[in-house]
Structure 1
Amino acid sequence: MYTYYRYLLLLPLAVGLRTLEPPPPVPASRDGSNDTVTEGFIYVRLNQFAATNTDVFPMRYYYNSRHARSTNIVIFIGGEWRISEGWMRGGLAYELAARESAALFYTEHRYYGDTRPTNTTSPEELKYLSVDQALADLAQFIQTVQSDSFENGWYRGGKVALVGCSYAGSMGTWMRLAYPHLVDAVFSDSGPLHAQEDFPEYLEVIAEALRVQGGETCLSTVQEAMVDLVALLGTPDGPATVSEQFNTCSSLQGATALDLATFFWYGITETFAYLVQYATPGDISNACTALQNTQISTNPVTRLAAWISAQPSTQPCIEAEYRVQLALHTNTSYDAPQATMRVWLYQTCVEYGWYQSTTSPRQPFLSTVPLEYFHQMCKDFISEYFDEDLLRSGIQRTNLLFAGLDFLPDRVISVVGGHDPWSPMGPKATHSRHLAPVYVVPEISHCRAIQSTENSDSEALAQVQHDVLNKMSEWLTDREDDMISSAHAVTASIIVGFAAIVALFA
């Protein structure tokens, strides 16, 4: 899930299992740097699907009413991160709000940031964390904003547009599926829709991006370095040498299998994930130039180590001891350094999987991070009861609730980056249709379409962004009345089916 992202380093869907807020929008000439942004809280139900549970908690949001001359609202959806004001002042959601004279909101997902439903993140208190609970929070938020209690009822009867990227983009699509009576238009950028236990395709896309943007030699150089690195670790003095070259926090001498998987995960594959998932034009080719620079060394392992050690994501050192990672991620305080990562890991263990293992032969990282490594994380970081059966039943539940890649609800427009490692789990261009168009933009990385139209990575992306704005405007102004009646029959059946499924699993 996993450049400008890296200063936000927290240990998302984001990169691998890391969770990061989308990057602040690159400033545009018509940004809202001087706009007044208000922070607010509304009380939502702790358990949205149990009428007997009346407990509530405060859900945080940001609000920008600068353009609110109509009754319409645009909601930028928060995902597995702490929200901040940047997206209230620029980006495609901001441009949509300005274009449609709408208010702009930014909602925070339960259990992230300052939206804390419980006292801690213990396994018992995480039981209220699921995407269907979070979608119900959004539904309650929309109803509150459209009620007389908010701005004296100004937004009552207005249209609602949702914008989200990554997991928040998934949420937007699923909101239209679950609550079509509350949501009129959705833009999902890079949103995965299919839950899957093993996700080796993630690293396959990284390999393809290195090959296309960096050249065949770059990809072969990385693979050669990995072969030599694994061989070096198998020699008596190799682990100490690798520790020094790659700047691990403690020596790999005597490392366990879990330690070595931790080194390859946090030190190697995650670093390439940052490079490719959040690449802007030139990032990958520049990295490949460094990886192939024989003036640094004729040894590919030395060049790989030099590049890895220079990345902000590996600073101040690579923590390769599994027991240290375990201690960091079992702290149940919301204020713990790895609290966000712990909460997101819980969601992957019970809802999604999406574990980027090295089980595919079509990637350069050999078999260094097995699927079992992530199984062990679920058991050790969260609870011993979080086994493979629980994981697989949760994945089955997610795909049953939301139909995976088999169905796209109407009035959802999706953008997929051609070199986004998450693209295999997202909608395909073959799914594209008039009611739910899908754009696949060549060589574009994760969550690039939600940036300002003045800061597009390519002409192709700029055209797609304008198409997104036009389509969202059509849906918000009902200029496509001919398609509404046909959609109503579909969405009505969805409401009934979704309610029945939620009741079954609540």
Structure 2
Amino acid sequence: MSRFLLAVEILSIFVPLVSTFFTPRLSFGLDHIRLTSQEANEINDTLLTFDQKVDHFDPNNKDTYLQRYGVNVTFYKPGGPAFILIGHEVTILQRWTHTDRSYWIALAKEAGAIIFTLEHRFFGYSWPKPDLSPESLKFHTSRQALADLNAFILAQNVAFDLNNPKWITFGGSYGGSLSAWAREKYPDTIYAAVASSAPIEAVVDFSAYLEVVSDTFYNFDKNCAQRLHQGFLAVQSELQTPEGQEKLKRIFGYHSNLEGPEAQSDLFGSILNPIMLFIQYGEGGRGHATKLTKICELESADEKNPLEGLANVVAFLTKRKLLLRAKAIEPNNGRTWLWQTCNEFGFYITTNSKKVVDNFVPDVIPVNYSVDNCKNVFKDVFNNATVYANVDSTNAYYHGRKKYSGTRVLFVNGKNDPWHALSILEPREGVDAIVVEGAGHCADMLSDNENDIPAITAARKQIHAIVMKWVKE
């Protein structure tokens, strides 16, 4: 089975995706921020380290590792709260706690909060073990990460002489999941939590992702969505002959084998990736409308050639042809995130949906395309049954969406963000929920901008009111 390491420009950096399509990495809003040279010079990018336990659940394991964190005391007023931005599947940066162009920093200023960020174990440079072998990665779980967070907070209470402070956690994407779960699992330590674009339900077959992508196009321009559907059907048709396969290689700049169902799933995944990621993120607070208009113009430029239109859309979104090369998966944030999908979350995007097949993309990416990748990469650690069992265990531990038991938690989701399908969208006792029309993944985490869509501005006002209520309680 062939797999690729596709480098796609997500946000402000190139992020590797393990395989072309198993799932987009869950980067969040602050990665959008590019610093000016003056801002970079004003921020000391030296992060600190904390002596953290390797295993919080085995009292006989005394091993420790150095976990990186950032802190900013500039805004702190004695008696004020403590805010912490939880790291997720990326390398943390000092600017997360220092740049003015993030909404949580604005909240910290007003609240007089001391602020922290903590790097997630096995991401960035916080490695409990010196390698990423399965034997080492057994310590790479969200449960260990939450225990890291709890231990870190308790230590900072002592280090900064914080007397019964209100700790409020913030996080976006997987970090948002951790924020919500931290309040659920450590309510005596954490007072409240903001969870932006946070998937709370683990699922192996995440076919709902492409349903949201399809809905976003259809809600914007039905004719455009239908043209995209025709383009994907044309790809499927061309794949049936050697001549058609060569045509696709030429049109998409594709340099890999297209024989066999798995290789053809690779191609569909590669074409879909930039489209999915655009719908997922949009243009931050500006929403999706500008680029959606351009995409529809490109797709409809030649009414008789939807295939060429689809290729033009992909080229526009990637700013280049695909130019894929087969590569082995290297030990990096991509491998460690893949481990978590196999070991805890699933999140495998598929075309296993009648709605998707009838209206958007043929049924060309089955769930086993991704599940099998767990065995291919980590050998006998995982198989089909263990992946499903692991996801069931995660939902049993965190209770999923319906039985989530945290209180004093705010969930914020963009309606155009496919990950909202796995989050909490309706308020209930102890839980606030905001769904932002026209917004993508973690758009609420950026600071206010004059180009923001009104729904984002309104959502930030709601977030402000809820957080400040917690601070003043």
User: 1:380 — aligned with what?
Assistant: 376
1:343 aligns with 2:354: no
Q: Secondary structure at the match of 1:311?
A: helix
Matches within 5 A, 1:81-480: 81-88=90-97, 89=99, 90-147=101-158, 150-151=159-160, 153=161, 155-213=162-220, 215-252=221-258, 255-265=259-269, 267-280=270-283, 281=287, 282-294=290-302, 298-312=304-318, 317-319=323-325, 324-325=326-327, 327=328, 329=329, 331=330, 333=331, 339-363=332-356, 364-406=360-402, 407-429=404-426, 432-433=427-428, 435-454=430-449, 457-478=452-473
* 1:36 Cα deviation after fit: 5.1
Distance 1:38 1:433 in 2: 41
Q: 2 CA distance for matches of 1:362 and 1:456? A: 34
After superposition, the Cα gap between the structure-2 partners of 1:116 and 1:434, relative to the gap in structure 1 and judged at 3 Å, is same
**Cα deviations across residues 8-65 of structure 1 (Å, max 9, x unaligned)?**
121179992335354446589xx98745565111011101111110101111111122
Contact 1:21–1:82 (CA under 8 A) maintained in structure 2: no
Partner of 2:3: none
**Whole-angstrom distance in 2 between the partners of 1:182 and 1:100:** 19
1:85 CA drift (Å): 2.8
C-alpha distance in 2 between matches for 1:307 and 1:209: 16
Code of the residue aligned with 1:257 in structure 2: it is P
Relative distance call for 1:8 and 1:37 in structure 2 (3 A) is closer
Tell whether the 8 Å contact from 1:3 to 1:279 is kept in structure 2 after alignment: no
Deviation at 1:409, TM superposition (A): 1.3
Counterpart of 2:89 (choices 71, 75, 80) is: 80
* Cα distance in 1 between the residues matched to 2:67 and 2:294: 42
Identity %: 24
- Once residues 135 and 63 of structure 2 are traced to their aligned partners in structure 1, the CA distance between those partners, rounded to angstroms, is 16
SS at structure 2 position matched to 1:357: coil
**Amino acid in structure 2 at the alignment position of 1:459:** P
Please, which runs of 5 or more residues in structure 2 have no aligned partner? 1-6
Q: Which amino acid aligns with 2:363?
A: S
Deviates more, 1:80-89 or 1:386-395: 80-89
3-state SS of paired residue (1:119): coil
3-state DSSP of counterpart to 2:180: helix
Give TM-score, length-normalised by structure 1. 0.84
- 8 Å CA contact 2:11–2:31 kept in 1: the answer is no
User: Amino acid of the residue matched to residue 178 of structure 2?
Assistant: M
Deviations 1:206-255 (A, max 9, x none): 00111122x00111011101111111110231111111111113353xx2
The alpha carbon displacement at 1:439 in A equals 0.9
| Alpha carbons of structure 1 residues 443 and 19: separation in structure 2 relative to 1, 3 Å | closer
1:52 aligned residue (42, 45, 60): 60
Any stretches of 5+ residues in structure 1 without a counterpart?
334-338, 479-506
Deviation at 1:279, TM superposition (A): 0.4
Conserved? CA contact 1:58–1:117, under 8 Å: yes
- Please tell me whether the aligned partners of residues 205 and 367 of structure 2 are also in contact (alpha carbons under 8 angstroms): yes
Q: For 1:85 and 1:288, how far apart are their aligned partners in 2?
A: 39
- Structure 2 CA distance for partners of 1:19 and 1:417, relative to 1, 3 Å: closer
User: Contact between 1:26 and 1:452, CA under 8 Å: does it hold in 2?
Assistant: no
Q: Contact between 2:274 and 2:318, CA under 8 Å: does it hold in 1?
A: no
- Specify the code of the residue in structure 2 equivalent to 1:240: E
